[in-house]
Structure 1
Amino acid sequence: MNFLPVLRELALAYQSFERYSAPDIKVMGLTHTQFDIIATLGNQPHMTCKQLGEKTLVTKGTLTGVLERLEMKGILERKLNPEDARSQMIGLTKDGQQLFEKVFPHHVAHLEKAFGKLSVDEMTEIQGSLKKLRAIF
């Protein structure tokens, strides 16, 4: 059970990230999930719900409700998929793209304050370790 300290540090690191990141997103009037979707759709062509789910950290059950709320706010739009009428293409509206252009650089700059404390070598090492950890599951 020598993995328990690793598990604890992983959980604590994620909680620390959330405590640092969430207030910045909340000030912008968004939830983490909404930000994740807007950041994924920003400057991108429309994509299917399946593609969006694969590119975000949002579960399918949560995704549907969040998409509906963002659509009601005029931030995103849905169109029929010309290649498959059973699915829809999802993308940002003009207002949604403007929101992306405002909030994405702001939040990246906020995160840079924390990640900037690490060297390139340290970030590369951490990324490699996290990839290895993910691969075992």
Structure 2
Amino acid sequence: MPTMRELVRAYQAFSAYSEAHIKQFALTPAQFDVIATLGNSHAMTMGELGEKTLITKGTLTGVIDRLIQKELVFRETPSGNRRSVIVQLTPQGQQVFETVFAAHIAHLKEQFEKLDPSELELLNVLLSRLRQAFQR
């Protein structure tokens, strides 16, 4: 099916373009995803973070471990609920978020600006309809 093939190719091109930029900041795409998600909130449980980032529990633990080694996040266990683990950006992690997130959005925006406003509007409508079709 040509549409499916083109969608996959567009996704692969977008991912490769995005990942190449993220790697310049010594981050993996999963690490960037966690930093971007936490940067827009105060703190999250591991479960919430997994849902927002779509990173599996097993993978997320390793991603968080590496971000802790880089001193970009910390995790803590609330005294009232030992089964829950809260993850939050460190001040250094917040600084990385503010710098890298803005730079990455600007980097991606350069490509989207190559489309006419009417093309972008149509793309948004069609992508929304496609997403809804799969969310039954």
TM-score by length of 1: 0.88
Percent identical residues = 49
Secondary structure of the equivalent of 1:114?
helix
Q: What is the match of residue 101 of structure 1?
A: 98
Q: Please, which runs of 5 or more residues in structure 2 have no aligned partner? A: none
Higher strand share: 1
Where does 1:56-71 land on structure 2 (aligned, <5 Å)?
A: 56-71=53-68
- Report the CA distance between 1:83 and its aligned residue: 5.9
Q: Please, which runs of 5 or more residues in structure 1 have no aligned partner? A: none
Deviations 1:23-61 (A, max 9, x none): 111111111111111111114211111111111132222
* Residues 1:25 and 2:22 are matched in the alignment: yes
What residue identity is the alignment partner of 2:94? Q
Higher mean C-alpha displacement, 94-103 vs 80-89: 80-89
TM-score by length of 2: 0.88
| Cα pair 1:36 1:57 within 8 Å, conserved | no
Secondary structure of the equivalent of 1:90?
strand
Instruction: Give the total of aligned pairs.
Output: 134
Secondary structure of the equivalent of 1:136?
helix
User: RMSD across aligned C-alpha pairs, in angstroms?
Assistant: 1.7
Give distance in 2, aligned partners of 1:136 and 1:83: 42
